[in-house]
Amino acid sequence: MWRRHAGLVSALVGDLVDQSAVSADVDLEPGPSYTSSVWDADPALGRVVVSAEQIAKRVAELGETITADYAGRPPLLVGVLKGAFIFLADLARAIRLPLELDFMAVSSYGKATKTSGVVRIVKDLDIDLTARHVLIVEDILDSGLTLSYLRKSLLARGPESLAVCSLLVKRSVQPRADLEIAYVGFEIDLEFVVGYGLDVAERYRNLPDLRVFLAGEPE
């Protein structure tokens, strides 16, 4: 453990420490018991729904599929903040194409408004979509209203193509003609999950696994 700290200190003090001597010695293996024990102690967290290892394996598969599908027409990945930020970071590196990246942030006006499908764009894209192959990268599809709105909004901007990649899809989602999802990481049951970018009141985004949040969905 102290070696991990030694590496951090050397990064902070920079020139004062012989970098090569320290970094060659640092063990960067995360150590599964170290990462899980912190979260195991939290009574608000339930069982692991999808483990970090399962996520990594699936993200690599999705990356291979997308690489093959978009060969010769590199995509513009549109990450939907904030929930998709970790998934997007991993997925982008699993795609072996010279892709582009941009971000959108959307928010709903609370539960009542969300059910009516009204979504507000908090941060819009910087890149023009004309003639681009756009791939929306989402964290989770629940009712599908957020994605339905996003698709309509982005389609109106004249992309060459538009597809969706969602890490998670809740099984309750009814099939909808306007919500074809080309790439799905995992289908999960109707439970509120946190981790790997997904939050509850801005917490648990840095939890490496996806776990059930036991206190239920917040209002």
> Site residues (CB under 6 A) for ligand IMP?
83, 139-147, 192-194, 198
* Gap between the Cα atoms of 95 and 91, Å rounded: 6
- Helices 85-94 and 52-69: crossing angle, nearest 10°? 50
b (16+ CB within 10 A) / e for 31-57: eeeeebeebeeeeebbebbbbbeebee
At closest approach, how far in Å is the CB of 217 from Mg ion?
A: 14
Residue 10 or 146: the one with the smaller Cβ distance to ligand IMP is 146
Residue 10 or 165: the one with the smaller Cβ distance to ligand IMP is 165
At closest approach, how far in Å is the CB of 83 from ligand IMP?
A: 5
3-state secondary structure 93-105: HHCCCCCEEEEEE
Given the residues 42, 69, 102, 142, the one annotated as active site:
142
Q: Which does 193 bind (CB under 5 to 8 A by kind): Mg ion, ligand IMP, none?
A: ligand IMP
Are 136 and 163 in contact by the 8 Å Cβ rule? The answer is yes
| Residue 199 appears among annotated catalytic residues | no
At closest approach, how far in Å is the CB of 107 from Mg ion?
A: 9
Residue 126 or 202: the one with the smaller Cβ distance to ligand IMP is 202
* Gap between the Cα atoms of 90 and 95, Å rounded: 9
Note the residues at the interface with Mg ion (CB under 5 A): 83, 139
* Residues forming the active site: 142
